[in-house]
Structure 1
Amino acid sequence: MSQSVDRALTILGSLGDGPVTLEQAATGIGVHKSTALRLLRTLEEHGFVHRQSDLRYRLGGRLLSLAHRALEEIDVRQVAAPHLAALNERCGFTVQLAVLQDGEVLYLDELAGRWDGAAARPSRIGRRAPAAGTAIGRVLLAGLPEDGAREDGLPAELAAVRRQGWAAESAEHREAVTCVAAPVAGSGGQAVAACAVSAPADRVPAAELARLLPELLCTAEAISLAYGGSPTPRWCENRCGARLGGRASRT
């Protein structure tokens, strides 16, 4: 990599923590202030850096615009696919990915379980379900801004889901299915999707499925990191490949 490019990227990375002075920018890349000034002026000309009235430099609007466009082009289903496949392989039960659309749960992906007889049940991909009547839906509702969540009439339950970071259900929308679900966080910290593990209630006790919660939470964290979100990697214990270091590298 070009030394100038490396220095410019290092400066941009440092601005992610807040505005810096010219002297701080120079110290951060180990160069004279005149060199740092040339780099900052070039970045400013292209809109990647903005010079404030207090003479400190912050990230420019063009950089934020490009970042937003890049995130919009990321397909959460594509990002989640390898993580869902790994979870399905480890646990053997049905794994699903869903989003909230027009107040309902829309299932984007599903991998049938090997041991729970789920292959005989039609896939939910493309199907919809009442959000309040499913664990995966309540996770998504709990991830809405508070005003939006309050409209659904489940403030206490949603508040509990938000605090614990997951939801469970023993009879998903009139189907005899046990399920645990967890949110996938986007760049703003809100839930952009949710993933779940489910199994027939008559074959898999709820307690057995609940033991998979750490695996599910770890998978949700890994998807969030891959999608560009900022989750708290409290559940990642080297199960699915998510690392604390992976999150740090985003800054």
Structure 2
Amino acid sequence: MSQTVDRALSILPLLAEGPADLGQVAERLGVHKSTALRLLRTLHEHGLVYRQSDQRYRLGARLFALAQQAVENLDIREIAHPHLVRLNEECGHTVHLAVHEENEVLYIDKVESRYPVRMYSRIGKPVAITVAAVAKLLLADLPEPERRAVVDKLDYPLYTARSTPNAAAFLKELAIVREQGWATDLGGHEESINCVAAPVRGADGRAVAAMSVSAPNVVVTAEELLGLLPLVRRTADAISREYSGNTVPNQ
């Protein structure tokens, strides 16, 4: 680790003890005030520290947000994984779990198909946000102003003839997804791959993740895959109940 990064990271546990001024930070790090100021300014630019009106520094809200997000994502993956495995054992197809982070939707878990034909998706890899079923669910759950702002900034590559062509079409599709509570990708990213997805919700009813079942049409037709929707939704509901601490099944 470089000396600069090491010094910058050393500031965070110091401020975790309470607000500190420039002199205190410099003394603790054993550096000149100008060096400490440069490090603090960099951390401040990224929202990791905050300068108070009394010129002392404390930990920034961005750091807490990142920590909370990391904890939530770790928890949801840990809770969901056994359910994903059971769903995979029952249907045999590839199962994914994804979350919305910043401007991307990322896979955070995957259970491989038992069939010889495998998907190229990887844990940690962003999905094709304008066509992926999990992305549609997570974006559809956003408040309308935020949803429109996100959609307007996206590019709309035409992966196949079934890809979403533009922002207006995507907003219409997200409205349908929001109303029905599930989503599909029927050849929108790859012509030979179909997918059906359902949301995982927290105690407040907001979607914290989305899970899906995907399969190539040489293994199962789109119609047959859609027939798994009740099973997919039951699995998502079971994960939601465990994640939110609600042990009562949805009626």
Code of the residue aligned with 1:133 in structure 2: it is V
Match of 1:129 among 124, 127, 130: 127
| Aligned residue number for residue 184 of structure 1 | 200
Matched, 1:165 2:163: no
How far did residue 203 of structure 1 move? 2.9
Matched, 1:206 2:222: yes
Matched, 1:197 2:195: no
| Aligned residue number for residue 43 of structure 1 | none
Conserved in 2, the CA contact under 8 Å of 1:93 and 1:198? yes
State the identity %.
46
- 1:79-94 matches, within 5 Å, as 79-94=79-94
**Counterparts of 2:190 and 2:222 in 1: how far apart (Å)?**
16
- 1:95-106 matches, within 5 Å, as 95-106=95-106
**Counterparts of 1:195 and 1:163 in 2: how far apart (Å)?**
18
Summarize the Cα distance change of 1:78–1:204 in structure 2 as closer, same or farther, 3 Å threshold: same
Segments of 4+ in structure 1 off by > 2 A? Answer: 71-74, 172-176
Code of the residue aligned with 2:90 in structure 1: it is R
**Counterparts of 1:123 and 1:130 in 2: how far apart (Å)?**
10
Conserved in 2, the CA contact under 8 Å of 1:171 and 1:201? no
Matched, 1:142 2:158: no
TM-score between both structures, scaled by the size of structure 1: 0.60
Code of the residue aligned with 1:141 in structure 2: it is L
Structure 1 residues without counterparts, runs of 5 or longer = 1-67, 231-241
Match of 1:220 among 208, 226, 236: 236
How far did residue 84 of structure 1 move? 0.5
How far did residue 132 of structure 1 move? 1.7
| Aligned residue number for residue 50 of structure 1 | none
Conserved in 1, the CA contact under 8 Å of 2:137 and 2:210? yes
Conserved in 1, the CA contact under 8 Å of 2:73 and 2:99? no
Structure 2 residues without counterparts, runs of 5 or longer = 1-67, 152-166
**Counterparts of 1:73 and 1:140 in 2: how far apart (Å)?**
14
Code of the residue aligned with 2:96 in structure 1: it is Q
What secondary structure, in the 3-state scheme, does the structure 1 residue paired with 2:127 have? strand
Summarize the Cα distance change of 1:112–1:72 in structure 2 as closer, same or farther, 3 Å threshold: closer
**Counterparts of 2:105 and 2:235 in 1: how far apart (Å)?**
20
How far did residue 123 of structure 1 move? 4.4
TM-score between both structures, scaled by the size of structure 2: 0.60
Deviations 1:109-154 (A, max 9, x none): 1111113622xx4442111123222111101111111211122133
What secondary structure, in the 3-state scheme, does the structure 2 residue paired with 1:96 have? strand
Summarize the Cα distance change of 1:98–1:172 in structure 2 as closer, same or farther, 3 Å threshold: farther
